[in-house]
Amino acid sequence: MRIAETVTFGGSGLDRAGHLRADAQAQTRLRATGAFLPLWRGKPLVGDQDALCWVPEGHPVLQQADTIVFLGLDDGTPRFAADISAWTPAEGAEVQGTGFFDASTQSHPSLPEAFRFVELRGAMTRLSRRDAELAATARAVLQWHVSHRFCSRCGQPSQVSNAGWQRGCAACGGQHFPRTDPVVIMLITHGNRALMGRSPGWPEGMFSCLAGFVEPGETIEAAVRREVLEESGILVGEVRYLSSQPWPFPANLMIGCHGIAESTTITLDPAELEDAIWVTREEMVDVMAGQHPHILPARKGAIAHFLIQNWLADRLD
């Protein structure tokens, strides 16, 4: 797919400078001239110009920073991410999310009021390509540290190393690295129709492409066929890869594919899907325009929206 990397969080050409991660002296120099992105409970700091907000080393907002990760060189500028989740916002600024999306924002007393910690799902389409990649990387790696503080080999506490890209266990010598879980997400079509599904608990009217985790010992194509069959009872034949998207909620690589259905009768697995439907191309035009009476468009910025939009535009090549 010639426009594969234009998907949100797609490659912006960031120099991750991996060769500098294990160089302690270089890291000290880079921190002195670098810029730090604070994140609070996975929320990046964003300004009123829809850009990430950066602070220098030693800024008061970093006083409660737990883990710091070197993100790379952004046109020569060293970029770091800092987890300040230990900070407690002022009363009344608590998280107000429902579990699916947190629309609340928080401000820090040492920063301008316009600088707010915001849900990345809501801000991702307004950020530049570079900012989106930096924010996605920061969120994914910092959240990995939160959930992997103990060695998976012996259970003892592990320590951050390699500029935030590794954890080491002093007890058993185990070395652990940030994980990314592969997920297939597939636009399944049959003639002029596309298969859409909705998971239990989703907002009313929300449908999207079917998706599922790749299992050990499984190819991408096999995962597409298995997941669609398990969830909807639809048999899939030809499968081809289209595009991928880092999805830092918490740390997935969404592998976008197009599959051709060989059957059309839907048999739901209620544990996986609440509903599944075939949507014609004409209906989908109304869906994506927000004009369908019963179906909401896929979230902008998500790869499902990207795949559907390009199917309608005949750009799945």
Asked if the structure places residue 161 within a domain, the reply is no
Report the pLDDT averaged over residues 102-130: 96
- Within this chain, do residues 24 and 133 fall inside the same structural domain, yes or no? yes
Asked if the structure places residue 129 within a domain, the reply is yes
Which residues share a beta bridge with 72?
79
- Within this chain, do residues 242 and 118 fall inside the same structural domain, yes or no? no
Q: What is the pLDDT of residue 94?
A: 57
Give the pLDDT confidence of 27-58 residue by residue, as tens digits: 999 999 999 999 999 999 999 999 999 999 99
Q: What is the pLDDT of residue 10?
A: 86
Asked if the structure places residue 122 within a domain, the reply is yes
Asked if the structure places residue 174 within a domain, the reply is no
Q: At residue 6, does pLDDT exceed 60? A: yes
Which domain-ending residue is among 121, 147, 173? 147
Q: At residue 259, does pLDDT exceed 90? A: yes
pLDDT band at residue 67, thresholds of 50, 70 and 90? Answer: very high
Respond yes or no on whether the N-terminal peptide bond of residue 250 is cis (omega within 30° of 0).
yes
pLDDT band at residue 178, thresholds of 50, 70 and 90? Answer: very high
Q: What is the pLDDT of residue 95?
A: 57
Whole domain around residue 293: which residue ranges?
181-312
Q: At residue 223, does pLDDT exceed 90? A: yes
Report the pLDDT averaged over residues 197-207: 94
Q: At residue 116, does pLDDT exceed 80? A: yes
Report the pLDDT averaged over residues 7-14: 92
- Within this chain, do residues 212 and 261 fall inside the same structural domain, yes or no? yes
Q: At residue 91, does pLDDT exceed 90? A: no
Asked if the structure places residue 171 within a domain, the reply is no
Q: What is the pLDDT of residue 100?
A: 64
Q: What is the pLDDT of residue 317?
A: 82
Global confidence as pTM: 0.94
Give the pLDDT confidence of 158-167 residue by residue, as tens digits: 999 999 999 9
The number of domains in the chain is 2
Which domain-ending residue is among 93, 125, 147? 147
Asked if the structure places residue 172 within a domain, the reply is no
Q: Which CATH number does the domain housing residue 203 bear?
A: 3.90.79.10
- Within this chain, do residues 110 and 25 fall inside the same structural domain, yes or no? yes
Q: At residue 118, does pLDDT exceed 90? A: yes
- Within this chain, do residues 223 and 279 fall inside the same structural domain, yes or no? yes
Q: At residue 98, does pLDDT exceed 80? A: no
Q: What is the pLDDT of residue 93?
A: 58
Q: At residue 117, does pLDDT exceed 70? A: yes
Asked if the structure places residue 165 within a domain, the reply is no
Report the pLDDT averaged over residues 213-226: 98
Asked if the structure places residue 185 within a domain, the reply is yes
- Within this chain, do residues 119 and 19 fall inside the same structural domain, yes or no? yes
Which domain-ending residue is among 147, 172, 202? 147
What average pLDDT is seen over the chain? 95
- Within this chain, do residues 125 and 187 fall inside the same structural domain, yes or no? no
- Within this chain, do residues 103 and 207 fall inside the same structural domain, yes or no? no
Q: At residue 185, does pLDDT exceed 80? A: yes
- Within this chain, do residues 234 and 138 fall inside the same structural domain, yes or no? no
- Within this chain, do residues 24 and 140 fall inside the same structural domain, yes or no? yes
- Within this chain, do residues 255 and 186 fall inside the same structural domain, yes or no? yes
- Within this chain, do residues 301 and 217 fall inside the same structural domain, yes or no? yes
pLDDT band at residue 294, thresholds of 50, 70 and 90? Answer: very high
